[in-house]
Structure 1
Amino acid sequence: MTDIMQLFEQARDGTLPQGFDGWDLTPYGARGLTVAHVAAINGHLSPDFDQWELANDRGSTVAHRAAQYGHLPPDFDRWELANARGWTVAHDAARWGNLPPDFDQWELSDKNGVTVARVAALNASQEAMK
């Protein structure tokens, strides 16, 4: 196993070494997926993590993946980070039902004018129909 693949496994399992700082490492062929993306998806970013803008080849930031999987820290404040389509971290959190109760940036919109409020409303409608 290559060293980078071992780091990916450690990011997935939450066993990265204390003080790890290679969050931007990406193995060949991973479409820009970084160690930080894997840690975010699995809820294993360090408490002092601050590289939320690291993006994969599709423009999806570490914050987008943490939002999708419900792993943003309680004091997260980078809701405006956007991917190439203008979809913000708040849009992802709304889509997956992971906005915090005190969220108040409902007017954030993507390049097509779709607001976080609309995404949250659509998500709530879909959940109600289940």
Structure 2
Amino acid sequence: MDTIISTIIVCAIIAVICVFGVLKYIKSLKSGCCGAGGDSVKKVKPKDSNAKNFNYEYKIVIDGMTCKNCAMRVENAFNSDENYLAKVKLSENSAFVRAKQAVEEKVLRDVVIKAGYIPMKVEKV
């Protein structure tokens, strides 16, 4: 008798977890993977958008970006600093970052991490 009650309780807990999972999935279909509530992230325009002013270029392969809001967050993280000019190609899971001066790989990785994503590979282009 005790095993039947235990089984019922475990099944009920699993059912509740499944219901919450389905509800979260439905919400993500309506509002995007980032839970942005259907609102897109506002683009930060770089102070200097002339690519000729940036002598160094890096490609950063990033894990965790799944939608245009993710890409915009990474671009904004770089473009809010006047020393960078960035463009994210979501189809390549990569950010192409131009810098006015040479930048250490760790600094670029830290910007991506602060934006909420995982830098997988950084290379100078």
TM range (shorter): under 0.3
TM-score by structure 2 length?
Answer: 0.27
| Bigger-Rg structure (1/2) | 2
TM-score by structure 1 length?
Answer: 0.27
Higher share of residues assigned helix: 2
Q: Which has the higher contact order (CA 8 A, sep 6+)?
A: 2
Higher share of residues assigned strand: 2
